[in-house]
């Protein structure tokens, strides 16, 4: 069973995605913010991470991703960032641009709200590689 870590400060989103993904056969672990997410990674290694961009700070997701990538044991984990930056700030970072990905440290960025089937399709793309 593949394990997914969801790091997001929105408990409703977290619970909704957890229930949805568990119903599709995934084991799901959750964390309510960057620090809690980093603590979870000390005791478990997921197959994929879903992380929010704006949590404790507007850039907490970027900081989280950078810290994960600094750890050689976790550096290759797929990270999918979810963000409502387009609605709140008027822009969405381009995760397909190589230059942007090099500093963002996320493999993919999805705009919230992410339709569940789109989220599942994206997750399956990374876990089937």
Domain 3-123 has CATH 3.40.1360.10: no
Domain ranges of the chain: 3-123
Question: Residue 49's pLDDT band (boundaries 50, 70, 90)?
Answer: very high
Q: What is the pLDDT of residue 111?
A: 84
Predicted model pTM: 0.89
For residue 26, what are its two tokens?
A: 């995934």
Neighbours of 39 (CB within 10 A): 11
Element (H, E) at 121: helix 116-127
Decide if pLDDT at 129 tops 80: no
Tens digit of pLDDT for each residue in 64-83? 999 999 999 999 999 999 98
């Amino acid at each position: 069973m593949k394990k997914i870590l969801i790091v997001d400060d929105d408990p409703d989103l977290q619970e909704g995605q957890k229930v949805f993904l568990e119903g599709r056969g995934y084991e799901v672990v959750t964390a309510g913010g960057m620090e809690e997410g980093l603590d979870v990674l000390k005791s478990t290694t997921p197959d994929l991470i879903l992380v929010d961009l704006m949590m404790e700070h507007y850039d907490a997701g970027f900081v989280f991703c950078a810290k994960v990538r600094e750890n050689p044991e976790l550096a290759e984990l797929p990270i999918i960032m979810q963000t409502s930056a387009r609605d709140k700030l008027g822009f969405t970072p381009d995760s397909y641009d190589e230059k942007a990905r090099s500093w963002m440290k996320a493999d993919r960025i999805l705009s919230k709200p992410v339709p569940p089937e789109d989220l599942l399709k994206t997750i399956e793309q990374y876990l089937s590689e």
